[in-house]
């Protein structure tokens, strides 16, 4: 009996350990899901975790009793208490199949499912001025017209086209005109795959092929299943063929309509719109009403005429009115006078100069940390940046050096992001994990970084035709080439003052061995989407490097990373790598190691 008791106890202990390991694996997967705003944990997984914790607790009590009571002996302590052991053995025997069964129930193929996106919500604080009401009525009438399926809205940048589209999207769903509204941003360098993916996300549809043509055919079939669908294509700079994206319309899909926005009417006409609506700048009184609503009560009577002049110089553009009014709220008379004088300098110099002057005024009201992050965002993608990436860059550049812990740094970053949003210079991203800039604001941020802080950047997804001269490189503090087509890299970049280098998604580009050898002060290096097998030899000479991001990279031997002794952030998100080399243990200053979705 004693031998049987010991065997049962030992078996239960081993099975319980396996169950505990299983719980940890599932909990790790669940934690990963919770960080993804478009995923939800399956209900049966939640129920299993609750149930299995009770199983663990009950089995643990049995093991504890065994260890405790087995020490107690009968007959003056000279022999084991066999009766007690037998009782515990019986309970252990009953618990054993329960533990084994619980572990088998935890063999989930997936722990989560993808959430179908909610409809596009109405814009908070949206003002239906008369000019906006007239445009909205035209759009709504076109959407209700059975003979119209392609509608265009045009107007200058910053006039409020995207905001109006979101408001229209919320209204047509509320009135039941369409059952589903999807929205995709095209931008000035359209990538058909990206547009396809944006639409597919709204439809909760997953592509399993890379071919644009095959994706288009499958997306078209998926869209045709929707009885009443409105597809909004925002920010079109040059005509695209809807069939190449996979968007059916007209006779191919009578239940669908396409609403498009552009700065240029001719682009929309080239795409065959049947109705086009001009969204003009706000009328003078509308612009003043919006400005006055934001700045609030002007208690000093001397402020009102100055405020009216400032509002006039925002050119009726909401993208200027809102941040300028926000920046001047609660400011004193001398600050208003100074702001007006700054804006007057650009009188008669055209809309572009006026836009620049108004945004510069808002920028000047920012605090140092906000300005630093604003300029950093100007170097990156305009249409959405991951907050997690901004954290890695901020840590490397020391934007919030007074924060000693990772959590404190993240909290400070979120506070600065919040402040930029309150200043109306930063927008909510398409998910909670991202932030984005209006392209007008992004152009301004890029120009500030370039003109005043020696940042060399090429526009998103453009071809880099030539590199700066030697003198420019020697003063350069940052190089940013996001998703650019780069024919060839120099053998070496002599940039002794360079602090950050961003080069994304150019897997066919060969990186010369000595490219980084003259970047002694480099602190942040992001080579996302590059083929880095092997790593360039000069990488190990970056003695001051704080942040290294090798996400979505093809990697093999990365042992040279062990020489980067100052490294605080190391990221391998979805990169191909066999194992972490032992040399990583040399990185004693490392604070963040990101191995999310690591591929082997």
Please check whether residues 578 and 468 belong to one and the same domain: yes
At 44, list the tokens.
Answer: 């049966």
Give me the percent of the chain exceeding a pLDDT of 70: 89
pLDDT, position 2: 47
Task: Give the domain-ending residue among 321, 349, 365.
Answer: 365
Residues 6+ apart with CB under 8 A from 453: 375, 477, 478
CATH number at residue 485: 3.80.10.10
Task: Please check the confidence at residue 117 and state whether its pLDDT lies above 60.
Answer: no
Query: In this structure, are 87 and 158 located in the same domain?
Result: no
Residue 77: predicted pLDDT: 47
Residue 393 placed within a domain: no
State the total domains in the chain. 4
Asked if residue 203 belongs to a domain, the reply is: yes
Band of residue 471 on the pLDDT scale cut at 50, 70, 90: confident
User: pLDDT tens-digit profile of 247-272?
Assistant: 999 898 988 999 999 999 999 999 99
Strand ranges for 247-300 from DSSP E: 256-262, 275-278
| Predicted local distance difference test score (pLDDT) of residue 125 | 58
CA angle 512, 514, 515 (to 5 degrees): 65
Per the listing, tokens 């969204």 go with 279
Distance CA 141, CA 275 (A): 10
Q: What average pLDDT does range 538-542 have in this prediction?
A: 90
Residue 218, pLDDT above cutoff 70: yes
Residue 100 shares a structural domain with residue 135? no
CA distance 76 to 179: 82
Residue with tokens 């999807």: 182
| pLDDT of the residue at 549 | 95
CA distance linking residue 352 with residue 355, whole number of Å: 5
| 145 and 254 both lie in a single domain | yes
Asked if residue 140 and residue 104 are part of one domain, the reply reads no
**Domain stops at, among 278, 299, 318:** 278
Q: Calculate mean pLDDT across residues 286-312.
A: 90
Q: Residue 400 falls within a domain, yes or no? A: no
The whole-angstrom separation of Cα 410 and Cα 91 is 49
What pTM was computed for the model?
A: 0.70
The answer as to whether 63 is a domain residue is: yes
Handedness of CA 19, 22, 28, 33 (dihedral sign): negative
Tell whether 258 and 243 lie within a shared domain.
Answer: yes
- Across residues 422-441, what is the average pLDDT? 86
Same domain, 83 and 148: no
Distance CA 473, CA 476 (A): 5
3-class DSSP state for residue 203?
A: helix
Torsion angles phi and psi, residue 557, rounded to 5 = -80, 115
CB-based contact 100:16 (threshold 8 Å): no
| Order of strands across the sheet that contains 150-154 | 180-187, 229-236, 256-262, 150-154, 275-278
| Same domain (yes/no): 89, 23 | yes
Question: Does residue 188 lie within any of the structural domains?
Answer: yes
pLDDT tens-digit readout, 488-500:
888 999 999 999 9
Residues 300 and 239 in one domain: no
Angstrom CA distances, 111 to 25, 42, 46, 51, 200, stand at 11, 6, 9, 16, 22
Query: Smallest Cα–Cα separation from 378: which of 299, 458, 307, 315?
Result: 458
Taking a C-beta distance cutoff of 8 angstroms, is the pair 461, 483 a contact? Answer: yes
CATH number for the domain spanning 265: value is: 3.40.50.300
> What is the predicted pLDDT for the residue at 389?
94
On whether both 172 and 221 belong to a single domain, the answer is yes
Q: What percent of the chain has pLDDT over 90?
A: 44
Q: How far apart are CA 32 and CA 30, in angstroms?
A: 5
Q: What is the pLDDT of residues 19-72, one digit of tens each?
A: 888 888 888 888 777 766 557 788 888 888 888 888 877 777 776 665 555 555
Which of 259, 279, 124, 122 has the alpha carbon at shortest distance from 183? Answer: 259
For the segment 341-352, the average pLDDT, to the nearest whole number, is 81
Q: Is the pLDDT of residue 425 over 70?
A: yes
User: Which is it for the CA torsion 175, 176, 177, 178, positive or negative?
Assistant: positive
> Is the residue at 426 inside a domain?
no
Residues 81 and 176 in one domain: no
Residues recorded for the chain: 600
Residue 138: pLDDT band (50, 70, 90) is very high
- 318 and 267 fall within a common domain: no
Q: Which domain holds residue 354?
A: 284-365
Separation in Å, CA 178 to CA 169, 257, 383: 9, 9, 27
The last residue of a domain, from among 310, 333, 365: 365
- Is residue 598 pLDDT above 80, yes or no? no
Neighbours of 14 (CB within 10 A): 11
Inside any domain, residue 395: no
Q: Is residue 358 part of a domain?
A: yes
């Amino acid at each position: 009996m004693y031998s049987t008791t010991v065997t049962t106890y030992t078996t239960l202990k081993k099975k319980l350990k396996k169950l505990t390991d299983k719980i940890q694996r599932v909990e790790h997967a669940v934690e990963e899901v919770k960080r993804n705003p478009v995923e939800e944990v399956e209900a049966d997984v939640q129920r299993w975790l609750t149930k299995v914790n009770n199983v663990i607790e009950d089995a643990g009590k049995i093991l504890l009793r065994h260890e405790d009571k087995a020490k107690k002996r009968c007959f003056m302590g000279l022999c084991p208490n066999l009766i007690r052991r037998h009782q515990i053995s019986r309970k252990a025997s009953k618990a054993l199949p329960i533990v084994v069964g619980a572990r088998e129930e935890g063999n989930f193929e997936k722990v989560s499912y993808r959430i179908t996106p909610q409809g596009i919500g109405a814009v908070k604080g949206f003002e239906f001025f008369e000019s906006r009401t007239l445009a909205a009525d035209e759009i709504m009438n076109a959407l209700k017209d059975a003979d119209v399926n392609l509608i265009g809205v045009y107007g200058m940048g910053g006039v409020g086209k995207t905001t109006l589209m979101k408001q229209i999207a919320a209204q047509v769903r509320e009135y039941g005109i369409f059952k589903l509204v999807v929205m995709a941003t095209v931008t000035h360098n359209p990538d058909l795959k990206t547009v396809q993916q944006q639409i597919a996300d709204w439809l909760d549809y997953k592509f399993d092929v890379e071919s644009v043509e095959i994706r288009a055919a499958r997306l078209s079939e998926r869209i045709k299943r929707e009885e009443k669908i409105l597809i909004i294509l925002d920010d079109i700079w040059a005509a695209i063929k809807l069939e190449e994206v996979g968007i059916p319309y007209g006779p191919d899909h009578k239940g669908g309509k396409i609403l498009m926005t552009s700065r240029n009417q001719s682009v929309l006409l080239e795409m065959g719109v049947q109705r086009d609506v001009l969204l003009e700048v706000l009328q003078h009184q509308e612009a003043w009403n919006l400005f006055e609503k934001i700045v609030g009560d002007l208690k000093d009577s001397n402020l009102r005429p100055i405020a009216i002049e400032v509002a006039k110089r925002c050119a009726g553009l909401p993208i200027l009115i809102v941040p300028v009014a926000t920046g001047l709220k609660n400011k004193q008379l001398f600050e208003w006078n100074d702001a007006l004088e700054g804006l007057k300098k650009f009188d008669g110099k055209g809309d572009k100069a006026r836009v620049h002057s108004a945004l510069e005024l808002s920028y000047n009201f920012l605090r140092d940390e906000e300005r630093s992050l604003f300029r950093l965002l100007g170097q990156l993608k305009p249409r959405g940046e991951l907050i997690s990436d901004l954290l890695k860059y901020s840590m490397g550049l020391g934007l919030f050096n007074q924060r000693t812990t990772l959590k404190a740094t993240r909290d400070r970053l979120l506070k600065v992001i919040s402040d930029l949003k309150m200043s109306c210079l930063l927008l909510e991203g398409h998910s909670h994990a991202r932030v984005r800039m209006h392209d007008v604001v992004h152009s301004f941020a890029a120009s500030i970084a370039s003109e005043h802080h020696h940042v060399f950047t090429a526009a998103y997804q453009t071809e880099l035709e030539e590199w700066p001269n030697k003198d420019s490189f020697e003063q350069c503090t940052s190089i940013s080439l996001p998703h650019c087509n780069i024919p060839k890299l120099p053998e070496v970049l002599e940039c002794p003052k360079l602090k950050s280098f961003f080069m994304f998604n150019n897997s066919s580009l060969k990186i010369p061995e000595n490219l980084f050898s003259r970047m002694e002060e480099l602190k942040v290096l992001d080579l996302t989407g590059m083929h880095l097998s092997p790593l360039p030899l000069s990488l190990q000479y970056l003695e001051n490097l704080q942040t290294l991001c090798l996400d979505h990279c093809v990697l093999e031997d990365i042992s040279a990373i062990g020489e980067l002794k100052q490294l605080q952030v190391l990221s391998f998100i979805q990169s191909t790598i066999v194992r972490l080399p032992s040399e990583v243990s040399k990185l004693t200053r490392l604070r963040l190691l990101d191995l999310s979705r690591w591929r082997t």
